[in-house]
Amino acid sequence: MATSSNPEPHWLGSRRRLLGRIIGLRARVSLSYALGALLLSTGVAVSTFVLAQRQLLAETEEVAIDQMFRNARDLRRDLLFEAAAAEIPVFLEGLVRTNNAQVLLLPRGGEPRSLSGLEIEDIPVDLRAQVIPGQAAKKHFQTNEGGQFASGVFISQIDAEYYEILPMTEFEGTLATLRRILIGASATATILGAGLGYYLARRILQPVTNAAEAAEAIASGDFDTQLDEQSDPDLAKLTRSFNDMVEALRSRIERDERFASDVSHELRSPLMTLAASVEVLEHRRDEMPEAARRATDLLSKDLRRFQRLVEDLLEISRLDAGAVQLENDTFEVMEFLRRVVAQSRTPGVPVETEEFGALILTADKRRLHQVISNLLDNARKYAGGATLILVALHNDRVRVSVIDEGPGVDPADRLSIFDRFSRAGGDAGRRDIAKGVGLGLSLVAEHVRLHGGRIWVDGQTPTGRGARFVLELPGIEVDATGEMEELAT
Amino acid sequence: MRQHRGVGTHILTVEDDERIRQAVKLALEEEGWDVTEAGTGESAMDAFTDNPPDVVLIDINLPGMDGFEVCRQLRRESDVPIIMVTARADTHDVVAGLEAGADDYMTKPFAPKELSARIRAMLRRSRNAEQGNMQRVKVGELEISPEEGMVMQGETEVHLTKTEFKLLCELASQPGKVFSREVLLERVWGYDYFGDGRLVDVHIRRLRTKVEPDAASPRYVVTARGLGYKLQP
The domain that holds B148 is classified in CATH as 1.10.10.10
Domain boundary among A159, A191, A220: A220
Round to whole Å and give the CA distance between A84 and A129: 27
CATH code of B66's domain: 3.40.50.2300
B111 vs A: CB within 8 A: yes
DSSP-based helix, strand, coil % in chain A, nearest 5: 60, 15, 25
Q: Which ranges in A82-124 belong to alpha helices (H)?
A: 88-93
**Do residues B56 and B108 share a domain?**
yes
The answer as to whether B105 is a domain residue is yes
Least confident of A17-21, A433-437, B130-134: A433-437
State residue B134 phi and psi, 5-degree precision. Answer: -95, 155
Q: Which residues contact A8 (CB under 8 A, 6 or more apart)?
A: A452
Q: Is A232 exposed, middle or buried (0-12, 13-18, 19+ CB in 10 A)?
A: exposed
B27–A279 C-beta distance less than 8 A: yes
Mean pLDDT to the nearest integer, B71-88: 90
B60-95: burial string, b at 16+ Cβ within 10 Å, e else? bbbeebebbebbebbeeeebbbbbbbbbbebbebbb
**Do residues A133 and A281 share a domain?**
no
pLDDT value for A24: 74
A280–B26 C-beta distance less than 8 A: yes
CATH code of A365's domain: 3.30.565.10
**Do residues B154 and B45 share a domain?**
no
Instruction: Quote the number of domains for chain B.
Output: 2
**Do residues B59 and B160 share a domain?**
no
Domain extent for B206 = 132-231
Answer whether A488's CB lies under 8 Å from B183's CB. Answer: yes
pLDDT tens figures, B144-192: 888 778 888 888 888 888 889 989 999 998 888 889 888 899 888 888 7
The answer as to whether A204 is a domain residue is yes
HSE-up of residue B176 (Cα within 13 Å, Cβ side):
5
Chain A, nearest residue to B18 by Cα: A273
**Do residues A336 and A455 share a domain?**
yes
Round to whole Å and give the CA distance between A167 and A146: 7
pTM of the model: 0.62
Domain boundary among B94, B111, B128: B128
pLDDT value for B3: 40
A487–B178 C-beta distance less than 8 A: yes
CATH code of A71's domain: 3.30.450.20
In this model, does residue A423 exceed pLDDT 60? no
Mutate to test the interface with B, among A333, A485, A489 (most CBs of B within 10 A): A485
pLDDT value for A6: 43
B117 vs A: CB within 8 A: no
**Do residues B124 and B136 share a domain?**
no
* Predicted complex ipTM: 0.85
**Do residues B15 and B100 share a domain?**
yes
Domain boundary among A320, A338, A366: A320
Q: Which residues contact B25 (CB under 8 A, 6 or more apart)?
A: B13, B35, B37
A271–B108 C-beta distance less than 8 A: yes
**Do residues A39 and A127 share a domain?**
yes
Nearest CA of chain B to the CA of A367: how many Å? 10
Round to whole Å and give the CA distance between A229 and A115: 85
The answer as to whether B4 is a domain residue is no
**Do residues B143 and B40 share a domain?**
no
Instruction: Quote the number of domains for chain A.
Output: 3
pLDDT value for B1: 37
pLDDT tens figures, B11-49: 999 999 999 999 999 999 999 999 999 999 999 999 999
The answer as to whether B168 is a domain residue is yes
B19 vs A: CB within 8 A: yes
**Do residues A71 and A198 share a domain?**
yes
**Do residues A370 and A312 share a domain?**
no
Domain extent for A284 = 233-320
**Do residues B146 and B188 share a domain?**
yes
Round to whole Å and give the CA distance between A318 and B72: 30
Percent of chain A with pLDDT over 90: 25
The answer as to whether A359 is a domain residue is yes
Domain boundary among B94, B128, B162: B128
pLDDT value for A273: 94
Using a CB-CB cut-off of 8 Å, the residues of chain B touching A351 are none
A330–B30 C-beta distance less than 8 A: no
pLDDT bucket at A17, cuts 50 / 70 / 90: low
The answer as to whether B202 is a domain residue is yes
**Do residues B80 and B138 share a domain?**
no
HSE-up of residue A289 (Cα within 13 Å, Cβ side):
2
Window 161-190 of B: residues touching A by CB (8 A cutoff) are 173-174, 176-181, 183
**Which residues of chain A have a Cβ shorter than 8 Å from any chain B Cβ?**
261, 264-265, 268-277, 279-280, 283-284, 307, 314, 324-325, 327, 329-330, 335-336, 339, 343, 360, 365-366, 369, 483, 485-489
How many residues comprise chain B?
A: 233
**Do residues A271 and A343 share a domain?**
no
**Do residues A273 and A413 share a domain?**
no
- Among B20, B181, B183, the residue with its CB nearest the CB of A272 is B20
Round to whole Å and give the CA distance between B54 and A140: 117
Q: In what order do the strands lie in the sheet with B179-180?
A: B179-180, B228-231, B221-224
Mean pLDDT to the nearest integer, A243-270: 82
The answer as to whether B187 is a domain residue is yes
CA-nearest of A125, A99, A103, A121 to A113 is A103
B198–A486 C-beta distance less than 8 A: no
The answer as to whether B157 is a domain residue is yes
Using a CB-CB cut-off of 8 Å, the residues of chain A touching B110 are 272, 275
**Do residues A298 and A337 share a domain?**
no
Round to whole Å and give the CA distance between A472 and A449: 10
Other CB atoms within 10 Å distance of the CB of residue A251: 11
Q: In what order do the strands lie in the sheet with A476-479?
A: A328-332, A358-364, A476-479
Percent of chain B with pLDDT over 90: 45
Domain boundary among A320, A351, A378: A320
The answer as to whether B1 is a domain residue is no
Round to whole Å and give the CA distance between B128 and B51: 24
**Do residues B47 and B144 share a domain?**
no
**Do residues B67 and B141 share a domain?**
no
In this model, does residue A461 exceed pLDDT 60? yes
Domain boundary among B84, B111, B128: B128
- Among A261, A279, A366, the residue with its CB nearest the CB of B113 is A279
The answer as to whether A89 is a domain residue is yes
Q: Which residues contact B132 (CB under 8 A, 6 or more apart)?
A: B146, B147, B149, B169
**Do residues A308 and A340 share a domain?**
no
In this model, does residue A20 exceed pLDDT 90? no
**Do residues B14 and B124 share a domain?**
yes
Q: Which residues contact B144 (CB under 8 A, 6 or more apart)?
A: B136, B137, B138, B150, B151, B168, B169, B172
Chain A, nearest residue to B110 by Cα: A272
Round to whole Å and give the CA distance between A260 and A312: 12
Select the highest-mean-pLDDT range: A233-242, A274-283, A375-384. Answer: A274-283
CA-nearest of B230, B24, B88 to A263 is B88
The answer as to whether A487 is a domain residue is no
Nearest CA of chain A to the CA of B191: how many Å? 13
∠A172-A174-A179 over CA atoms, to 5°? 90
**Do residues A282 and A416 share a domain?**
no
The answer as to whether B225 is a domain residue is yes
Q: In what order do the strands lie in the sheet with B150-153?
A: B137-139, B142-145, B150-153, B156-158
B197–A329 C-beta distance less than 8 A: yes
The answer as to whether A448 is a domain residue is yes
Give bridge partners of residue A397 from the DSSP assignment: A394
Q: Which ranges in B100-196 belong to alpha helices (H)?
A: 112-130, 162-173, 181-184
Q: Which ranges in chain B belong to alpha helices (H)?
A: 18-30, 41-50, 67-77, 92-99, 112-130, 162-173, 181-184, 197-211
pLDDT value for A202: 82
pLDDT bucket at A270, cuts 50 / 70 / 90: very high
**Do residues B16 and B124 share a domain?**
yes
pLDDT tens figures, A149-180: 888 888 888 888 888 888 888 888 888 999 99
